[in-house]
Structure 1
Amino acid sequence: MEREGVSKMPEYLKKINRSSVVQRVIDRLTEAMLSGELKPGDKIPTEMELSEQLGVARNSIREAIKILVYIGVLEIKRADGTFVCNGFSESLIDPMIYGIILNQQNSQDLNELRAMVETGVMRLAVEKSSEEEIRQLHEKMLVLKDAIFAQTPDVDQVFEADNAFHDCITEMGHNAMVSKINAITRVLTYSTRYDSVKGMLETGRGEELYSAHERVYQLIASRQLEGLHESVEGTYFLNVGKKS
């Protein structure tokens, strides 16, 4: 039973064991954020205070804080101390890029991720875009059309126009976190997307390539949610060596 007038020590400040000390410090601090013990904008104890409270060396505390700062969970204000970040930081997502790059053995997993993310991006565009943004998307589609149906289509120009079209859709969703995740998936699928566009043009399927993007535009312009996933999958053209 607690003595009257003695405050209970926060869970994240209780001593931890010696195994994987840095990771345990990271876990303790992030668990405190998830539980609400530490909130955005809160100042965390100093290195010395954390070292004493958790029963670990200061260099372990310092290393754990360095990692949490790098991934955007904590920020150091030189004159004031270390604080829990307020809001979303793009650096929260960056370490995930390396993990995905190192684990790309299964391209099917990556394609499924892309389909899921792009469907969500389109849903946000349907729900949140303005009429002016839809007009801008139409302009991007016309640029893509001109590139595809040029007398001698240039793969790089078509691919650039394709990217501009999809980037426009992402911006229409007005969600920084979703935009960042979508950007990652598009970076990771760069080569397959480029090869797909190249294969479509080389096999005379430019009309099919354009129609798939026109379908995406029509769904967004008409604020139609039904059929979004199918329209996204329709832009993949994985079997580019075959004519339909």
Structure 2
Amino acid sequence: MAVTDQAILKIKEMIVSGELSPGTRLPPEKELSESLGLSRNSLREAVKALEVIRVLDVRRGDGTYVTSLEPRLLLEALSFVVDLHQDDSVLEVFAVRRMLEPQAAALACRSITEAQLAEIEKQVADVGEDADVETLVAHDLAFHHLIAEATGNAYLTSLLDSLSSHTVRARVWRGITEGGSVARTIDEHSAILDALRGRNAELAQALMIAHVSGVEHWLRKAR
């Protein structure tokens, strides 16, 4: 294993063990490198790598801190990687969404609050059949985010937000080229909402599979 990788693992162990908690400032470079048995160059490389994936925050003239470690921050690295992929990778993103979103809908049925239901109901009610494609896609993003959020799982919510944002272009293109997309999306969202309201996990899961698969199927035919 490369020395830099060893340094990364040692810092990770300090965070996992609680020796370094979110928001904590790391010891001075000389002190930390000596305590870990590493060269200062190896430590610097490890810190740079951990800064890229938002585990550490290097504040010039102040020091290096552990970030909040919130899912939103940690999953930015995934977003970066997905951004680098083109062409058929969007189909793979849809395939992952097809696996995760139905499970999120099922989980939401068990944990969603009345306030969260009301928020989703308002989101659906605010979109009319005369909505333009951009409005529809913005609504779709918000709709899926609210369902994921209702699971109470912050990591799942951040992961789905990241994946969903990378399928926006496909959804916009479908809305432009395929007639009836607005009415169909609203109908599908309304049906999923009804399943959530009825706490019917199996139905919500099935409806979400059909909903996400619709765009995926269109995209496969259109390519």
TM-score of the superposition, structure 1-length normalised? 0.71
Distance change (3 Å), C-alpha of 1:163 and 1:75: closer
- The Cα of 1:216 is off from its aligned counterpart by 0.9
Determine whether 1:214 maps to 2:190. Answer: yes
- Which residue does the alignment assign to 1:172? 150
- Which residue does the alignment assign to 1:137? 120
Contact 2:20 2:26 in 1 (8 A): no
Bigger relative contact order (CA 8 A; separation at least 6): 2
Distance change (3 Å), C-alpha of 1:207 and 1:70: closer
Deviations 1:174-230 (A, max 9, x none): 443332212111111111122233344x2x455433322122111111111113332
- Which residue does the alignment assign to 2:106? 123
- The Cα of 1:109 is off from its aligned counterpart by 2.1
- Mapping for residues 197-236 of structure 1, pairs under 5 Å: 197-200=175-178, 202=179, 204=180, 206-236=182-212
- The Cα of 1:125 is off from its aligned counterpart by 2.8
- Which residue does the alignment assign to 2:138? 160
Determine whether 1:40 maps to 2:21. Answer: yes
Residue identity (%): 25
- Which residue does the alignment assign to 1:23? 5
Larger Rg: 1
Deviations 1:127-157 (A, max 9, x none): 232213212212221223x2x2x3xx52223
Count residues in correspondence: 216
Q: Which runs of 5+ in 2 are unaligned?
A: none
- The Cα of 1:70 is off from its aligned counterpart by 4.3
**What is the letter of the counterpart of residue 176 of structure 1?**
A
Contact 1:32 1:38 in 2 (8 A): yes
Determine whether 1:98 maps to 2:76. Answer: no
TM-score of the superposition, structure 2-length normalised? 0.76
**What is the letter of the counterpart of residue 171 of structure 2?**
R
- The Cα of 1:88 is off from its aligned counterpart by 2.7
SS in 1 for 2:202: coil
1:61 to 43, 52, 64: 43
- The Cα of 1:86 is off from its aligned counterpart by 5.9
Contact 1:73 1:85 in 2 (8 A): yes
**Greater helix content:** 2
**What is the letter of the counterpart of residue 32 of structure 2?**
L
Q: Which runs of 5+ in 1 are unaligned?
A: 1-18
SS in 2 for 1:235: helix
